[in-house]
Structure 1
């Protein structure tokens, strides 16, 4: 009996994305092996954290890297670093930010659950723009003597391009952080934000598409900022003491990043294309399926749910409660399949289940 069966927890096919609430990802075998190996001996955690950071920085072509306890923890530590630096008095003072720059600017249209991490070390969130986006003038107006950093995401819609944010913020002496939790891989993005766009640091998730331990994140970028993150991190007497990363997780995320940097991305793209074609072929006989389109590793399936009398939520529930159990989301009759989360054999199992529901 496996552990999930023993506990009464039902596994499912994750066709949604690398979401935390769904377990993040399935770790690469090399990451699991590295964690098991690391679990068998004692090491100095400071030394392990330092060496792993140096190795990941070297692999990705950056000045420095720090392993945090998930991407949200990375945001908290990076914000703390921007406010207090490596000053030992200020480090212990947080989350009291008296005498420090303590405002972090974000797009109003891109507020997200994890921005609570900005507030953990005591910072205040300042919104720029509106629900549609922001302008350069609006960003400039938000910057003041209290601004500690600007935090942004890969832009969409009318969000400001990152290179323009960097230009405006750096002209006022303000560092720029990028939440890249869903932006890596491809591996080129490890360098793109920092080297080409000039951001001070990116915060990535080690447990999403990188497929390391879910409880890991990465702060990658300028050495001075990353070193300050380490000063605020575990096991120091600092805001990051509650954000522990063990030797096993450190070994696991190192192995995962190394795998990402060494794997054949062309072969990955070919496999994604094959899976997309299999889904289109497998559903071609259903009169309820109006279209099957692929963009990157996401397939969108337009379905005439009204002919079955199903709502989006009812269709999601049928997939969740069926065999196999499939988790994803459906909006306005459009069903999403994230190919990057599917494991070997799951495409065929999912197609069979969809045919049961959608074919006459």
Structure 2
């Protein structure tokens, strides 16, 4: 059949019939291809809204939208968005998997680490009493209303706990802790990022709590890496452990994990969505986030962490080598002892040799193309390679060297 005759035939014959009667299965495919609409260009909403994107040389800060999700997480989110499932069943199944990976009795995905703190505290206060669940944050009739914490730990994040109505009780020494424990003590809270500033460390904190049969909760929001921290505090004996999901694990930024004792996780879920009449109803985590968090955690635990560290070291070297070429500039590499435990480059200089303030250089980096975000700005500039994409360390090195060289004398 000639091409001209085929086109004429297709215009009058049913497609299926043509394919069968002519013995040419490609006919239907050809017809479909001929009538298919051209591929629609993907919409770039970030560009459409005129939003500034940047190279993240600062770290996993919420204000900078923390980390970027891996393709496997995005694929999970996209695929799960096409199906209806019962959210409690999702939490059940994912909770079992997370608990097994993190060596806890039970777990749940929360609306970030803050939500994990609120719900964990709520579970301790109410246990399985639904009447108490409905009363929060009005706990005036509760016997236990106080949460003990070290003075160094009593910073802004305590507001997550006070959302439940609890009263924080500050202590500094073991002797003060023993005196502070009364019939009103509901829980003892440990903020991991403040551990170096406190007098009582993890093991002693847990031991004293267990002696008095008081539940313990630890906030370790940004305290991975190392990956072992995901089960370290469960094994140390903390009853509840809270962690952010959108930092090192590169899960959804609005997700977190609450894990720990089975009875306390069950109690915490009474104050969480989809249940109503509670303080956590607004802390929704959709199925896509719950499943995405599970895949992100699984990927993070199973990746080659030694290789990742070597990659960071190589990226650090690229940047520091470039900075050495600018007279008067120093670059010190350190690793924070607990939170954000990754290499950090502190860049400083003699302002008689490099005539610009750190804030001015930081602003130049922000306003350049591509834009680069860093931290510091008062006496120095802090850079991390934690969130850099492959090859971006070269851009950061080049831009830093250029900006500092521009004002060097």
Which category describes the TM-score, using the shorter chain as reference length? over 0.9
The answer on 1:150 being equivalent to 2:188 is yes
Give the match's secondary structure for 1:9: coil
What are the residue-to-residue correspondences of 1:231-310 with 2, within 5 Å?
231-237=270-276, 238-295=278-335, 296-310=342-356
Distance 1:90 1:219 in 2: 21
Tell me which of 233, 238, 262 is aligned to 1:199. Answer: 238
Match of 1:139 among 170, 177, 180: 177
Which of the pair has more CA radius of gyration?
Answer: 2
Aligned to 2:67: 25
Are 2:232 and 1:186 aligned? Answer: no
Question: Of the candidates 341, 346, 359, which is equivalent to residue 313 of structure 1?
Answer: 359
Are 1:218 and 2:257 matched, yes or no?
Answer: yes
Q: Which runs of 5+ in 2 are unaligned?
A: 1-42, 336-341
Instruction: Spell out the pairing of 1:120-131 with structure 2 (5 A cutoff).
Output: 120-128=163-171
Deviation by residue 1:106-157 (Cα, 9 ceiling, x = unmatched): 22223333321111121122222xxxxx221122232221111111122113
Per the alignment, in what secondary structure is the counterpart of residue 340 of structure 1? Answer: coil
Of stretches 316-325 and 168-177 in structure 1, the one that deviates more from structure 2 is 316-325
Q: CA RMSD in A?
A: 1.7
TM-score (norm 1): 0.93
Please say if 1:346 is aligned against 2:386: no
Query: Is the 8 Å Cα contact of residues 151 and 178 (structure 1) preserved in structure 2?
Result: yes
Identify the structure with bigger relative contact order (alpha carbons < 8 Å, sequence gap 6+). 1
CA gap of 1:110–1:309, structure 2 versus 1, over 3 A, is: farther
SS at match of 1:122: coil
Number of residues of Structure 1 aligned to a counterpart in Structure 2: 354
1:149-180 deviations in Å (ceiling 9; x for gaps): 11112211344201111111221221111111
CA contact 1:324–1:350 (8 Å) conserved in 2:
no
**Gapped runs of 5+ residues in structure 1?**
129-133
Cα distance in 1, alignment partners of residues 275 and 290 from structure 2 = 17
SS in structure 2 opposite 1:290? Answer: strand
Contact 1:60 1:261 in 2 (8 A): no
Structure-1 separation of matches of 2:326 and 2:373: 21
Q: 1:348 deviation in Å?
A: 1.0
